[in-house]
Amino acid sequence: MGRPAKASIDLNALRNNYRLAQQVAPQSKNLAVVKANAYGHGAVACARALESLTPAFAVACIEEALKLRASGIRKPILLLEGIFTADEVAIAAQADFWLMVENNQHLEQIEASNPDHPVRVWIKLDTGMHRLGMEPAVFPAAYARLKAMPQVDDEIVIVTHFSSADNLADPSTPRQIEKFHAACKGIEAPKSLANSAAIMAWPKARAEWNRPGFMLYGASPFEQPQAVADKLLPVMTLTSAVIGLRHIEAGEAVGYARSWVANRPSVIATLAIGYGDGYPRHAPSGTPVLVNGRRAPLVGRVSMDMITVDVTDLPPVSLNDRVVLWGEELPVNEVASHAGTIGYELLTRMTGRVPLSYRGGDN
């Protein structure tokens, strides 16, 4: 019933990918990152599927964490961007949210707070990403200040974030690792360096805590094949159906602005998917789509509700035939590459118009 655009979420694949992160770094604890609605996959359902496996979750902000708590998720939740207002400290302590400390304002807000018990804190060290975190020169003093606060739990995790771990030839990752350890010298504390790319490809980045995110959802952060990434299973399969078919002559155009013109008699299939669903508007003609399991090129501009593909070279196509936009057999990264973006964006930009359905709900 209803419009055929749907996203199927395979929770068994999600758990498989989490276990892969564990297998790669068995000495680490892996904190499952479910920010941005679990990268478009549905944070509540994904957290429920992972809760028996992970010691803790991570989200961007307290609003995301509160939604998980309201749904019954009980594991600790790290707020990756820290707090935005001072009153969030007491809320975090009460709800078992862990706070990322990124700057002096965070230090001041915690010092001015009066939580009913000490809050767990992670402190970020800026080793080269240059977005958030303490500069190495001020880091030891900031760490010592946190340690002295009665509002803060005694175990403080030191964390950094890599700018280019997805580029295996970039020397900045080993430089960031060296800078991290130099800044932490003499401080005995649990550490967290590795995001998904570092878990898979940079063994020296694996520490007491890792932070798998993108890899959990079955997409590789790397542009080239990579041994661990090749074992990931796609979690989301975005599908729709053929809702229109027409034969056009050579010289006829398809779609807005007549951006694609047939150079031969062609069969054009119209699919119920568009940028109003999260499909990338800038996907050019030639972007692959699977129609009945066979590749067909996108032709013409992506519109809000529909796209068109050239099925001239395929076996006969009928109305209601199934199409796959990405997922099983068609990696989201491949579609993203055609559209001049990354798989992260395509997954997280999914709109509420596309219903999510789940399989593999039992552990």
Catalytic residues: 35, 256
Residue 147 token pair: 């340690």
Q: Compute the distance between CA of residue 16 and CA of residue 5 in angstroms, rounded to an integer.
A: 26
Please count the CA atoms within 13 angstroms of the CA of 21 that sit on its side-chain side: 35
Q: Compute the distance between CA of residue 84 and CA of residue 288 in angstroms, rounded to an integer.
A: 42
Q: Compute the distance between CA of residue 242 and CA of residue 252 in angstroms, rounded to an integer.
A: 20
CB 212 within 8 A of CB 19: no
SS3 (DSSP) at 179: helix
Strand-pair partners of 288? 297
Q: What is the DSSP letter of 327?
A: B
Q: What is the DSSP letter of 284?
A: P
Q: Across the chain, where does the E strand assignment appear? A: 6-10, 29-30, 32-33, 57-59, 77-79, 97-101, 119-124, 152-159, 191-192, 209-210, 236-248, 253-254, 260-261, 266-271, 288-291, 294-297, 307-310, 322-326, 356-359
Strand-pair partners of 236? 9
Complete DSSP assignment for 301-317: ---SS-EEEE-TTSSP-
